Amino acid sequence: MRYFLELRYNGAAYCGWQRQPDQPTVQQTLERGLTTLLRTPIEVTGAGRTDTGVHASYYVAHFDIETPIADPGQLVYKLNFLLPGDISVESLTPVADDLHARFSACEREYRYYIEPHKNPFTRHTTWQYYVPLDVERMNRAAAMLLEYEDFTSFAKLNSNNHTNICHIRHAAWTVDDRGVLCFTIRADRFLRNMVRSIVGTLVDVGRGRYTPEDFRTIIESRDLSRSSAGAPAQGLFLSDVRYPARLRGGF
């Protein structure tokens, strides 16, 4: 029997999603809680990796168990009681055995937040960056991402990617009434460190180091050394994971 979990987490205390020896991760923490409650070893498969310090305002994972869970709502209640305060499970839903949290996903969305002033209450969830940024220039450059498929210029070296091809469907900056910048990007897949590398390079466009056309040249170069340093992890959130409607069933 396969179950999908919808959850969210603050990644500040974790070395990413994926299980690692002798390091705290979200996957390990979730598996430990489920194993305790269900009294059988549980392995959880996530919708994708998030790196050290990266958050998820929406995340999906699945696990398999031989015996159906009698009361999923009660299990969610007990699981949230066991889990630390920085991980919250929102729902537990039985799904078809061929629905896979990672491989069935058709689109993922990330959001990156930049705050232009010091704020002690958001220092772990935004990049507090004090240099004025030209958002219009950044949006002109960001729109170019939709014209390309090969993002080698923003791919972390030695990541064992089978391909650096991604199909970006949306990429844009917005600014709220407090002046906080939010970069939203949606694609069928992302390369490791790709979003942070794109954000870091777009910030350099916004502060005048590069022009939007320079950004195009960086994409076309397929050379990681041409892009800027990646933006800090704490401003990045996985914000959505989408599945084809025909596969969702009751999920």
Sign (positive/negative) of CA torsion 156, 47, 7, 23? negative
How long is the chain? 251
Closest CA to 4 of 74, 83, 72, 77: 72
Is there a contact between 161 and 191 (Cβ–Cβ < 8 Å)? yes
**Given the residues 51, 98, 204, 214, the one annotated as active site:** 51
Is there a contact between 208 and 131 (Cβ–Cβ < 8 Å)? no
Rounded to whole angstroms, the Cα distance separating 93 from 69 reads 10
**Those residues with Cβ within 8 angstroms of residue 90's Cβ, 6 or more apart along the chain or in another chain:** 6, 7, 8, 76
Rounded to whole angstroms, the Cα distance separating 162 from 159 reads 9
Rounded to whole angstroms, the Cα distance separating 233 from 127 reads 8
H helices of the chain, where?
26-38, 72-82, 135-143, 194-206, 212-221, 245-248
Collapsing DSSP to helix, strand or coil, 11 comes out as helix
DSSP state of 20: B
Q: First-to-last CA distance in the chain? A: 14
51 has catalytic annotation: yes
Active site residue ranges: 51
